[in-house]
Homo-oligomer: A and B are copies of this chain.
Amino acid sequence: MKRRGLLIILSSPSGAGKSTLAGRLRAWDDSLRFSVSATTREPREGEVDGKDYFFVTTEDFQAQVGAGDMLEHARVFGNYYGSPRTPVQAAIDEGRDVLFDIDWQGAQQISKSALRDHVLSIFILPPSIPELHRRLVSRGQDDVETIERRMQKSWDEISHWDGYDYVMVNDNLDETEERLKTIISAERLRASQQPALMTHVRMLQTQFEER
Contacts and interface: CB of A to CB of B under 8 A. Distances in A.
A108 to B, nearest CB: 15
B164 A191 contact: yes
A158 to B, nearest CB: 6
Contacts of A211: 129, 133, 151
B201 A158 contact: yes
Nearest to A203: B128
Contact of A191 (B130, B162, B179, B186): B162
29 contacts: A123-B191, A125-B197, A125-B200, A125-B201, A128-B203, A128-B204, A129-B204, A129-B211, A130-B207, A133-B211, A154-B208, A155-B205, A155-B208, A158-B205, A158-B208, A159-B205, A161-B197, A161-B201, A162-B201, A166-B190, A166-B191, A168-B189, A169-B197, A179-B189, A182-B182, A182-B186, A183-B186, A183-B189, A186-B187
Interface of A: 123, 125-126, 128-130, 133, 151, 154-155, 158-159, 161-162, 164-169, 179, 182-183, 185-187, 189-191, 194, 197, 200-201, 203-205, 207-208, 211
A197 to B, nearest CB: 5
Closest 4 pairs (CB-CB, A-B): A186-B186, A129-B207, A167-B191, A183-B186
Contacts of A207: 128-130
User: Which DSSP category, helix, strand, loop or mixed, fits chain A's interface?
Assistant: helix
A205 B158 CA distance: 9
Contacts of A166: 186, 189-191
A88 to B, nearest CB: 23
Given A158-B208, A161-B197, A169-B197, 10 more contacts: A129-B204, A130-B207, A155-B205, A155-B208, A164-B191, A165-B190, A167-B197, A169-B200, A179-B189, A183-B186
